[in-house]
Structure 1
Amino acid sequence: MTVATAGRAPATFEIKSANLPLVALLLKSADLAALSADLARRFGDIPDFFDNEPLVVDLTPLQLADATTQGLEVDFPALLTLLRQYRVAPVAARGGSAAQMASALKAGLAAAQDAVPVEPASERAAKSASKTPAPKQAPDVPAPGALIITKPLRSGQQVYAKGRDLVVMAMVNVGAEVIADGHIHVYAP
């Protein structure tokens, strides 16, 4: 009997990491009657708003709100049934107490401790702008004028216009190289 090495055997599958778009439900209350009313108010008129999108139940707001909501028991089977009525597919939970996470796992959700809802780009930009000090204004230095070449460039020649535009008023033969930090203009017959 021969044993095929992993490198030679044809693979029937691969396991790779994936970044998937997930919707996050930031649960701010364990009161499912209130949640049901809010979902009906927001999405009742548009039943096809979600298209079976995967969803992470984020329990962090329950932990951060106040002492009365910390550690509240969430009825996960009822929550999952409610969410599925709005065509979302709950796949994971995060941010809960040990008891809440155990209850979520028992209901069939995965623990997604590293799943973080994406911040809108405008909020990210505002945060980074507030952290970054304003750059100091450099004194105005006049930009150098364009480098103007009036003679033909032969094969193998290289012209570099460092920090400015390059204007070539003659032929650039095959194999010649023109480089500029700014714009390049070639006016040749």
Structure 2
Amino acid sequence: MTSKKALEFKGRMLSLTRARILDPDLGAISAQLRDFARQMPQAVQGMPIILEADAPVDLGGILAALREVGMQPVGVGDGPLAESARSWGLAVLPPEGAAKARPLPAAEPAAAAANPPPTPPAAVAGARKATRVISEPVRSGQQIYVADGDLVVTSTVSPGAEVVADGCVHIYGALRGRAIAGARGENSARVFCRRFEAELVAVAGVYAVAEQMQGDLRGKPAQVVLADGKLKIERLEW
């Protein structure tokens, strides 16, 4: 009797956001998560989270707080949280970058030394990112999201509006609302705007709110990039 196939494994990569616990105060953590979810509802829903900490914490309470706002904890970094994580059924992962440092095993030599076939045109076309262009102002309360591509707004983004893309966000007018680039974890994504007056900006889950962005670049052309895990707001020559 032939056994029935019950599982199919596919080699798909998942973008994970690592959250380091700086203060174990559960009330403070819950408040920050709620504020984060209010500011970035599109990015937060279903966001897979890896928790890291330098000391033991109330892991159960933190997991509940994450799930309450729609995040999905999937594991912890190896360290003080590891033992508790196993009791909650979470994975224990190596520190960030450790997995990348391991060399991959050498591929087995091919049976025949033939030239590899050319990439089919359809595969090349499918690899390209789509770009969506919005020529109307993005009004307060509107949210625009572009999956697997870039978003270009040729007008303004009003206060209370939100523009989100898995790739880069380009705003040729004033950015007065929220702009989120790299919504699925693309670290190289950027936010570009002609007039920087944002309520919130984020790249790959790392965000800053207006109170943190008061400076010389306010009201000027700027780009937002992610460097060494931190947001940088830089002058943009327009």
Give the TM-score category using the shorter length.
0.3 to 0.5
Give TM-score, length-normalised by structure 1.
Answer: 0.44
Give 1 or 2 for the bigger CA radius of gyration. Answer: 1
TM-score by length of 2: 0.36
Q: Which has the higher contact order (CA 8 A, sep 6+)?
A: 1
